[in-house]
């Protein structure tokens, strides 16, 4: 992808949709609650759509375009109000923002798709650039390493945004792992279909993350975390990745979820 | 050359490569080196994007008028005295080359680096005709001695350590005194190859760009073997994929700059060789005859599909493989296709059909590193996704890609139909996800979903949907 | 049907709406002057030296003879081959001296391959054009010069006139096209940016892969047109 166009951000809205992703729904619902509460703390009313399931990306990247399209259509049609859709994953945000318009080209109105695409924001991106959030770090001094997903980095162009958001916590030293921009080896069905290659990738990723000796591993994408954590757990490492929303909530807003 | 391996066995081949720590470190080191060199050469902010925009525009414009430019190229070359041949497939291309060699009574051939000659398996063909065809690019020479295929399109012997090269030379070069000193190794090969250049009957090279307006063939290289091959023997045969034609001389500088900076981080290569005719009466030397073989071999198939045409923009710099986390780990040979790495994944289906290359198109996490460094902005991940989709099409359509629908599997398809049903029925989705978290404790006991070295992901004890309901109830 | 007709037929039948693409075509020359900073000898020399070439700067053509003599002596060269400049008026005196030299032979097309491979220690030629940005000399073998001269002997000495220093390859190409309007391209036009090299063994740079191990560039500052 050539240079990602500079995005112009609107004023902070009164209402937003929260799109949690199926992975947060099933694997880390507390991150969803944290994300929601932080949004509410900005004075925003968060709309939760009970009918949200999955963005369809797994089918899409596996080449099952038709299944992906039907899922995408059902999800897209849920968002009938023209307000921001705040997504708890760079990868799902990329799917909604960058791929829905072409995937649903023949099924849905192109103006509506363009409007929708323009309303899709990744959660951290939304907080930093639209809410202009100022985080007040109440935690202890610590060291954290961040893994940005490839979609966040190369599709959404928000890897730096996430870092800027986290840097606001002045007692957290952010350390950069070696090969920071390299993929963790998740890639949806790739991790299953080409397990050996995926394993080699995640093993290297884990090695570089552990080498930083950080106390926390943070990511804005549960896809990567699912992969990295599964590897770390099997290796009986003490490190376990968590969503940035959980980390921010715990340090800046007061405690447990 | 490495007849046993085939793209269909990619999984097994990559498994072997992954288990070879020496190979892994050879590739990792080489990739680090090449990534670093490229980054340095585009260190000025925006310099890459600006040049990329122009490169992409030039390639797109030229491809849009491809048939016309090819006809113009043929007529310009013919006017200049270059004989132009057309080959629809590999076999025709091979026969054209051996036909020319027979006519010239050529028995020994030196070859400059040409991936297209690998693509049409020229060496094997000539060997069968008792024509010696010696690779003269240092890397190609090394892999030829080892009876292997190139593992990288720019640095063919990237998988070999100098010790292995020294052993090869000791085995094959008479009078070679064993040394692992790279300067001495190059000197030894230089001596062998200079003798061959001096006595070869014909030279074969590839073409990096051909200029339609002037009938000019451009060769990009550092070693000088391309110049030797196209200068010293009495016949020069240039092999070119039909997509490589550009309109005018002015299209060349931006593309050359993109090519050398993306490939090896060089502002320019040592030699940029522009050949527009055989030796003229006033020239002091040069070949008496120059032949240009234009090869299709699946390219027109890619051309005819709006999505895949972009793959023909490629200028063969290798940056995509240099930045690919999969390539860095499995190496070039695992792909067993002439063009490895990300670009290989999207052009091999047109050369070999999707049936043979189905595993190649899925062997990517779609991380997009390739696309982010592509000098002509080929949307490689998007094309991979399209190829995955085509591999599973229900039936071959009219403008079928070879092997379309070949990777349809009833079982896999059912999985995604079920996925669709669940995800589009919110009640069903919530019910099922409730079931998943309810029985999450069973996950570790299920068969390992992604191998024994990663535990099965463990769902939470409640879904976010449940938590949200509870929250609503409480407020 | 011929292969040509089949290939072109397939390509021509593959008409794709290309409106999107044609919009993308920018004016190629518009950013020409905007792309680089420093210009001139310094950059030219710096780039050449980065590529492992040896650069000798002379103030005027009269110094060439002495310089060549010392090069020949220092390197113990026994046989050289030289070609005259395509613009002889510029280097008339130099060429007169060269033609008197006992160890130098002027290209006349009678040299054999063996001469180039085994006899000549160095080749000497004049360059009509050079490119600063990449440290590149442009060779134009033809009537006076042979292709082999700059390729096969182990050393290539090239005399460059600074009046012909182009900013970058793009500008050279534009000038070249303008000057050569209508004329066919020369059989061979070569850009050289250093001695022959390779990094094909374990990314270790080695010079003198197939072509010259050394490239000696002599620049002359005070040449009048």
- Give me the CATH number covering residue C124: 3.40.50.10420
- Subunit contact B276:C6, Cβ cutoff 8 A: no
Cα separation, A189 vs B18, in Å, equals 20
Which 3 state secondary structure label does DSSP give A166? Answer: helix
DSSP A182: S
Residues whose CB is less than 8 angstroms from the CB of residue C70 and which lie 6 or more positions away in sequence, other chains included: none
Interface of B with C in 323-352 (CB under 8 A): none
Pairing of strands B235-241, C165-166: unpaired
Cα separation, C131 vs C135, in Å, equals 6
Mean pLDDT along residues B99-109: 97
Per-residue pLDDT for chain C (225 aa), expressed as one digit of tens each? Answer: 799 999 999 999 987 655 444 445 554 443 444 333 345 888 999 999 999 999 999 988 888 889 999 999 999 999 999 998 877 677 788 888 888 888 999 999 899 999 999 999 999 999 878 999 999 999 989 888 999 999 999 999 999 877 678 999 999 999 888 887 778 899 999 999 999 999 999 999 999 999 999 999 999 875 544
- Subunit contact A183:B388, Cβ cutoff 8 A: no
- Subunit contact A25:B326, Cβ cutoff 8 A: no
For residue A66, which of B417, B231, C144, C68 has the smallest C-alpha distance? B417
- Inside any domain, residue C7: no
Residue of B nearest to A20 (CA): B464
Distance linking the first and last C-alpha atoms of chain C:
57
For residue C49, which of C194, C191, C197, C211 has the smallest C-alpha distance? C194
Residue of A nearest to B452 (CA): A234
Report the number of distinct structural domains present in chain C. 1
How close B61 gets to chain C, by Cα (Å)? 6
For residue A106, which of A73, A79, A71, A149 has the smallest C-alpha distance? A73
For residue A53, which of A84, A75, A83, A34 has the smallest C-alpha distance? A75
- Inside any domain, residue C20: no
Mutate to test the interface with A, among B444, B459, B464 (most CBs of A within 10 A): B464
∠ at Cα B454 (B452, B460), nearest 5°? 125
Locate C111 and state its tokens: 């040299």
Cα separation, B268 vs B218, in Å, equals 13
- Inside any domain, residue C3: no
Which 3 state secondary structure label does DSSP give B409? Answer: coil
The distance of Cα B133 from the centroid of its chain, to the nearest Å, equals 22
Mean pLDDT along residues B37-48: 96
Lowest mean pLDDT among B91-105, B336-350, C55-69: C55-69
- Inside any domain, residue C119: yes
- φ, ψ of residue C137 to 5 degrees: the values are -110, 150
- Subunit contact C108:B80, Cβ cutoff 8 A: no
Cα separation, C124 vs C106, in Å, equals 9
Contact status of B193 with chain C (Cβ, < 8 Å): yes
Per-position DSSP letters for chain C, written without gaps between them: --HHHHHHHHHHH-----HHHHHT---TTTTGGGS----SHHHHHHHHHHTT-EEEEESSTHHHHHHHHHHHHHHT---EEE---SSGGGGHHHHHHHHH-SSEEE--S---HHIIIII-SEEEEEESEEETTTTEEEE--SSS--TGGGTSSSEEEEEEEGGGEESSHHHHHHHHHHHTTTSPPPSEEEEE-SS-EE-TTTT--EE-SSS-SEEEEEEES----
How close B100 gets to chain C, by Cα (Å)? 17
Q: Which residues pair with A122 in a beta bridge?
A: A87
Which own/partner pairs from B406-413 qualify as long-range (CB within 8 Å, at least 24 positions apart)? B406/B353, B406/B354, B406/B355, B406/B358, B407/B354, B407/B355, B407/B358, B413/A64
Q: Do residues B82 and B210 touch, judged by C-beta distance below 8 A?
A: no
Share of chain B above pLDDT 90, in %: 87
Question: In this complex, which of B30, B50, B306 lies closest to C16 when CB atoms are compared?
Answer: B306
**In chain A, where does DSSP find H-type helix?**
22-27, 29-41, 57-61, 65-76, 90-94, 100-103, 110-118, 123-125, 150, 159-167, 190-193, 195-211, 222-234, 244-248
Q: Which residues of B touch C86 (CB under 8 A)?
A: none
Q: What is the ipTM of this complex?
A: 0.96
Cα separation, C104 vs B149, in Å, equals 44
Locate B175 and state its tokens: 């009078």
- Subunit contact A27:B423, Cβ cutoff 8 A: no
pLDDT score of C1: 72
Locate A56 and state its tokens: 């369809």
Q: Do residues A58 and A23 touch, judged by C-beta distance below 8 A?
A: no
∠ at Cα B63 (B61, B64), nearest 5°? 65
Cα separation, B134 vs A235, in Å, equals 50
CB pairs below 8 Å between B and C: how many?
A: 262
Q: Do residues B230 and B273 touch, judged by C-beta distance below 8 A?
A: yes
Residues whose CB is less than 8 angstroms from the CB of residue C125 and which lie 6 or more positions away in sequence, other chains included: C82, C83, C139, C145, C149, C150, C156, C157, C158, C159
Mean pLDDT along residues B153-182: 96
Per-position DSSP letters for B135-172, written without gaps between them: E-SHHHHHHHHTT---SSSSSTTTT--HHHHHHHHHHH
Q: What share of chain A is helix, strand, coil (3-state, %, to 5)?
A: 50, 10, 40
Locate C64 and state its tokens: 């060439």
Cα separation, B102 vs B99, in Å, equals 5
Contact status of B44 with chain C (Cβ, < 8 Å): no
Residues whose CB is less than 8 angstroms from the CB of residue A250 and which lie 6 or more positions away in sequence, other chains included: A34, A139, A256, A257
pLDDT score of C111: 93
- Inside any domain, residue C28: no
Mean pLDDT along residues B3-16: 84
Question: In this complex, which of B186, B214, B300 lies closest to C185 when CB atoms are compared?
Answer: B214
Question: In this complex, which of B30, B138, B254 lies closest to C209 when CB atoms are compared?
Answer: B138
How close B452 gets to chain A, by Cα (Å)? 8
Pairing of strands C155-161, C122-127: parallel
Categorize the per-residue pLDDT at B404 as very low, low, confident or very high, splitting at 50, 70 and 90: confident
Cα separation, A16 vs A84, in Å, equals 5
Q: Do residues B391 and B361 touch, judged by C-beta distance below 8 A?
A: yes
Cβ atoms < 10 Å from Cβ of B45:
8
Cα separation, C43 vs C136, in Å, equals 11
- The size of chain B, in residues, is 475
Cα separation, C209 vs B200, in Å, equals 18
Q: Which residues of A touch B369 (CB under 8 A)?
A: 150, 154, 181-183
For residue B337, which of B324, B320, B325, B351 has the smallest C-alpha distance? B351
Residue of A nearest to B450 (CA): A192
For residue C140, which of C90, C95, C186 has the smallest C-alpha distance? C186
- φ, ψ of residue B285 to 5 degrees: the values are -160, -170
Sign of CA dihedral B262, B267, B269, B274: positive
Cα separation, C218 vs C44, in Å, equals 12
Q: Which residues pair with A217 in a beta bridge?
A: A145, A241
Q: Which residues of chain A have pLDDT under 50?
A: 1
- Are chains B and C touching, using the cut-off of 8 Å on CB pairs and a minimum of 3 such pairs? yes
| Structural domain range at position C105 | 47-196+204-220
Q: Which residues of B touch C12 (CB under 8 A)?
A: 67
Which 3 state secondary structure label does DSSP give B314? Answer: coil
Locate B40 and state its tokens: 């340095």
Angle formed by the axes of helices C169-179 and B252-264, to 10°?
150
- Subunit contact A2:B14, Cβ cutoff 8 A: no
Contact status of A4 with chain B (Cβ, < 8 Å): no
Q: Do residues B296 and B331 touch, judged by C-beta distance below 8 A?
A: no
Q: Residue B371: in which H helix or E strand, if any?
A: helix B369-373
- Subunit contact B87:C203, Cβ cutoff 8 A: no
Angle formed by the axes of helices B138-145 and B162-172, to 10°?
70
Lowest mean pLDDT among B150-164, B447-461, C93-107, C136-150: C93-107
- φ, ψ of residue A133 to 5 degrees: the values are -60, 145
- Subunit contact C195:B270, Cβ cutoff 8 A: yes
**What domains can you pick out in chain B, each with its CATH number?**
63-300 (3.40.50.10420), 414-474 (no CATH)
For residue B13, which of B366, B336, B362 has the smallest C-alpha distance? B336
Pairing of strands C214-220, C129-131: unpaired
Whether pLDDT at B447 is above 50: yes
Q: Which residues pair with B110 in a beta bridge?
A: B134, B203
Q: Do residues B149 and B339 touch, judged by C-beta distance below 8 A?
A: no
Locate B441 and state its tokens: 């404790």
- Inside any domain, residue C78: yes
pLDDT score of C128: 76
């Amino acid at each position: 992808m050539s240079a990602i166009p500079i995005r112009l951000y609107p004023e902070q809205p009164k209402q937003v949709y929260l799109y949690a992703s199926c992975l947060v729904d099933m694997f880390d619902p507390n991150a969803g609650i944290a994300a929601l509460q932080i949004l509410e703390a900005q004075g925003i009313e968060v709309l939760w759509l009970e009918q949200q399931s999955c963005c369809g990306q797994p089918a899409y990247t596996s080449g099952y375009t038709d299944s992906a399209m039907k899922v995408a259509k059902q999800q897209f049609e849920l968002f009938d109000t023209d307000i921001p859709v705040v997504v708890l994953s760079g990868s799902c945000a990329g799917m909604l923002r960058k791929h829905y318009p072409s995937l649903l080209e023949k099924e849905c109105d192109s103006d509506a798709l363009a409007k929708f695409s323009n309303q899709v924001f990744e959660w951290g991106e939304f907080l930093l650039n639209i809410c202009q959030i100022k985080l007040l770090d109440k935690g202890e001094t610590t060291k954290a390493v961040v893994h940005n997903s490839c979609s966040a980095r190369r599709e959404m162009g928000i890897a730096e945004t996430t870092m800027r958001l986290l840097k606001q916590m002045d007692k957290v030293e952010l350390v950069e792992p070696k090969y920071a921009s390299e993929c963790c080896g998740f890639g949806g069905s790739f991790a299953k279909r080409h397990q050996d290659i995926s394993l080699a990738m995640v093993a290297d990723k884990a090695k570089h993350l552990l080498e930083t000796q950080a106390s926390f591993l943070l990511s804005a994408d549960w896809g990567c975390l699912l992969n990295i954590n599964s590897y770390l757990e099997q290796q009986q490492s003490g490190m376990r990745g968590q969503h940035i929303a959980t980390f921010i909530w715990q340090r800046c807003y007061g405690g447990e979820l | 050359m490495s007849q046993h391996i085939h793209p269909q066995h990619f999984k097994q081949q990559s498994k072997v490569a992954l288990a070879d720590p020496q190979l892994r470190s050879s590739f990792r080191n080489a990739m680090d080196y090449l990534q670093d060199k490229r980054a340095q050469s585009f260190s000025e902010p925006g310099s890459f994007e600006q040049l990329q925009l122009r490169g992409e525009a030039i390639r797109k414009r030229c491809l849009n008028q491809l048939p016309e430019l090819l006809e113009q190229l043929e007529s310009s070359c013919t006017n200049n005295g270059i004989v132009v041949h057309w080959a629809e497939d590999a076999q025709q291309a091979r026969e054209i080359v051996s036909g020319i060699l027979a006519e010239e009574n050529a028995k020994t051939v030196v070859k400059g680096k040409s991936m297209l000659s690998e693509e049409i398996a020229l060496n094997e063909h000539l060997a069968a005709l008792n024509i010696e065809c010696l690779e003269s690019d240092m890397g190609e020479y090394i892999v030829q001695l080892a009876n292997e295929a190139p593992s990288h399109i720019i640095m063919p012997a990237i998988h070999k350590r100098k010790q292995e090269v020294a052993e090869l030379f000791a085995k094959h070069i008479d009078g070679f005194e064993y040394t692992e000193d790279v300067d001495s190794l190059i000197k030894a090969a230089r001596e062998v190859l200079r003798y061959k250049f001096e006595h070869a009957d014909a030279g074969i090279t590839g073409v990096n760009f051909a200029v339609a307006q002037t009938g000019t063939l451009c060769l990009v290289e550092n070693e000088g073997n391309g110049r030797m091959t196209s200068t010293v023997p009495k016949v020069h045969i240039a092999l070119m994929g039909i997509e490589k034609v550009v309109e005018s001389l002015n299209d060349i500088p931006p593309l050359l700059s993109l090519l050398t900076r993306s490939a090896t981080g060089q502002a320019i290569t040592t030699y940029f060789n522009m050949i527009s005719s055989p030796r003229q009466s006033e020239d002091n030397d040069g070949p008496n005859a120059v032949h240009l073989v234009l090869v299709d071999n699946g390219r027109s198939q890619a051309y005819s599909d709006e999505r895949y045409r972009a793959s023909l923009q490629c200028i063969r710099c290798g940056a995509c493989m240099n930045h690919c986390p999969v390539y860095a780990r499995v190496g070039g040979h695992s792909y067993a296709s002439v063009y490895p790495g990300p670009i290989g994944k999207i052009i091999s289906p047109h050369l070999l059909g999707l049936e043979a290359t189905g595993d190649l198109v899925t062997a990517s996490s779609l991380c997009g590193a390739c696309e982010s460094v592509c000098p002509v902005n080929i949307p490689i991940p998007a094309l991979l996704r399209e190829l995955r989709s085509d591999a599973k099409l229900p039936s071959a359509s009219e403008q079928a890609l070879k092997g379309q629908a070949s990777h349809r599997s009833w079982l896999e398809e059912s999985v995604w139909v079920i996925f669709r049903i669940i995800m589009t029925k919110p009640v069903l989705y919530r019910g099922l996800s409730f079931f998943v978290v309810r029985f999450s404790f069973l996950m570790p006991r299920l068969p390992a979903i992604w191998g024994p070295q990663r535990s099965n992901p463990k769902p939470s004890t409640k879904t976010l949907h449940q938590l949200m309901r509870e929250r609503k109830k409480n407020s | 049907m011929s292969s040509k007709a089949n290939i072109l037929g397939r390509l021509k039948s593959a008409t794709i709406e290309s409106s999107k693409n044609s919009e993308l075509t920018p004016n190629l020359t518009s950013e020409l002057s905007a792309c680089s900073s420093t210009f001139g000898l310094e950059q030219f020399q710096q780039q050449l030296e980065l590529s492992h070439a040896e650069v000798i700067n002379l103030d005027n053509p009269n110094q060439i003879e002495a310089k060549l003599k010392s090069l020949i002596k220092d390197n113990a060269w026994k046989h050289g081959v030289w070609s005259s400049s395509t613009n002889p008026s510029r280097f008339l005196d130099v060429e007169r001296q060269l033609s008197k030299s006992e160890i130098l032979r002027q290209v006349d097309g009678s040299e054999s391959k063996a001469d180039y491979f085994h006899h000549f220690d160095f080749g000497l030629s004049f360059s009509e054009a050079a490119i600063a940005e990449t440290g590149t000399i442009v060779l134009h073998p033809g009537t006076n010069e042979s292709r082999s001269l700059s390729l096969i002997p182990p050393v290539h000495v090239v005399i460059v006139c600074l009046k012909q220093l182009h900013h970058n390859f793009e500008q050279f190409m534009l000038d070249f096209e303008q000057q050569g309007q209508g004329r066919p391209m020369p059989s061979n036009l070569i850009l050289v940016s250093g001695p022959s090299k390779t990094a094909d063994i374990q990314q270790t740079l080695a010079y003198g892969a197939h072509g010259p191990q050394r490239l000696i560039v002599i620049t002359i500052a005070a040449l009048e047109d």
